[in-house]
Structure 1
Amino acid sequence: MVDPSRAERRDAVNELKRTIILDAALGIFEAEGLQGASMRAIAKAAGYTPGAIYAYFPSKEHIYAAALGESLARLRAATELATRTGTATERFIAAGLAFFDFYDTNPRDLDLGFYLFRGGIRPQGLSEELNTELNVKLLAALAPLHLAALDSGGDTDRARRLTADVLAHASGLLLLAHTGRLGLFDLDARSLMHGHLRTLTETLGPP
């Protein structure tokens, strides 16, 4: 019979090693991008042998997916926390701002989520299986927006379009703010996001 305390210590050690590997990998991804990164470089940065990290992740793509998956889980927690109370309109605005604020205050997560680590703006992803898993997590993080739109009396298609609109608008503003381009207009990205959300709420409700 396995000693529960020993099993707990083993799990804690494994989780610590996994965290160390993920942190080291993010540094490598930032410096080299996903394409330029290697398991050997990640292992060296983490202080392990390549064989040691293969026990936790089968490839650098799986490491990237794990890091992005954890980021999306934190995003989901933020959007859900912001929408625990309020009317449908209030929750819609709160969810949109929570999405924006998460990435605005966590620029590394923004780069990670949009594959911007030395990759530029272009279609990128991982394997079909990993992409599917990550897309499910992204949609779960956006679910409070979709639900608020539905609760206002709108149909599924309208809720889907409004959710996509918020994702697109927030992404554009975050990119402009993240690169400093919005400074050309002396405007505040969050204020613009809030204003756009308020405008969208005017379309909430039955068609």
Structure 2
Amino acid sequence: MPKITEERREEQRSRILSAAMATFAEHGFRGASMARIIKASGLSAGAIYTYFPTKDSLEHAVAESIFRNRLGALRELAESDPVPAPAEGVRRFVASIPAELMDTGLLLQIWGEAVSEDRFRELSTGILRGLVERMGEYLAAWLRQERGLDEAASRERGRRLAPAVVALCQGYILRRALSGEGEEAFLGSVDALLQGL
């Protein structure tokens, strides 16, 4: 039997994660069965269990994948030239979140699971710390560029502002998942708030 290349292995893993994400979004973490995920992926049960031996491991991998991509989006903001103003940064950050994650409430499900499930709590709190840290780095880069603050002052101010700005993004995700409203009214309000930074 020929060996599977690393590229093929990563492709299959990504396929499984996509199928699991869609299944969790449709049925919730509790209502999604491995049988449903296997069917959605089009792969064999053996192939799925090779990558993810339990449903818990698959849930964790989906949640981690979602959050890691958000960290990358914040890194891109900090490394932009020029660094966008906070109102535009928030707009770009929430635009980077795939609509299916917000419209299905999958992100809210993950946060909800974090309240009572240790495995999700540990992951979510770690990622939240990472998001706040990255948001602080982005804000510090903007403060250096636009306000002329030195390294230490910009880092300190960015660190202090970051939890509130991340919370604004979380508020948008919550509002969109619950009400189905688009982003313009909310982001217009965020724009007005952040203009004063």
Same fold (TM over 0.5): yes
Contact 1:24–1:45 (CA under 8 A) maintained in structure 2: yes
RMSD: 3.2
The gaps in structure 1 that reach 5 residues or longer are 1-5, 117-121, 202-207
The residue type equivalent to 1:137 in the other structure is I
Residue of structure 2 in register with 1:62 after alignment = 57
| Residues 84-163 of structure 1: pairs in structure 2 closer than 5 A | 84=79, 85-86=81-82, 92-103=86-97, 106-110=98-102, 111-115=105-109, 123-125=112-114, 127-129=117-119, 131-147=121-137, 148-149=139-140, 153=153, 159=158, 162-163=161-162
- Superposition deviation, residue 180 in structure 1: 4.3
| Alignment deviations for residues 56-82 of structure 1 (CA, whole Å, 9 cap, x no partner) | 112223222222222222222221212
Give the Cα separation in 1 of the matches to 2:87 and 2:129: 17
Task: Report SS of the residue matched to 1:55.
Answer: helix
Give the Cα separation in 1 of the matches to 2:134 and 2:89: 6
What is the TM-score of this pair, normalised by structure 2?
Answer: 0.71
Shift of the 39–182 alpha-carbon distance from structure 1 to 2, 3 Å rule, reads closer
- Superposition deviation, residue 37 in structure 1: 1.0
Give the Cα separation in 1 of the matches to 2:192 and 2:56: 38
Bigger shift: residues 136-145 or 163-172: 136-145
| Alignment deviations for residues 24-82 of structure 1 (CA, whole Å, 9 cap, x no partner) | 11221122100111112211222234343121112223222222222222222221212
Query: Is 2:170 the counterpart of 1:171?
Result: yes
Q: Which structure features the higher share of helix residues?
A: 2
**% identical equivalent positions:** 23
Runs of 4+ in 1 over 6 A off after TM superposition: none
What is the TM-score of this pair, normalised by structure 1?
Answer: 0.68
Task: Report SS of the residue matched to 2:57.
Answer: helix
Give the Cα separation in 1 of the matches to 2:7 and 2:154: 46
User: Of 75, 80, 96, which residue of structure 1 is paired with 2:75?
Assistant: 80
Give the Cα separation in 1 of the matches to 2:57 and 2:89: 29
Number of aligned residues: 181
Give the Cα separation in 1 of the matches to 2:123 and 2:174: 24
- Superposition deviation, residue 161 in structure 1: 5.1
The gaps in structure 2 that reach 5 residues or longer are none
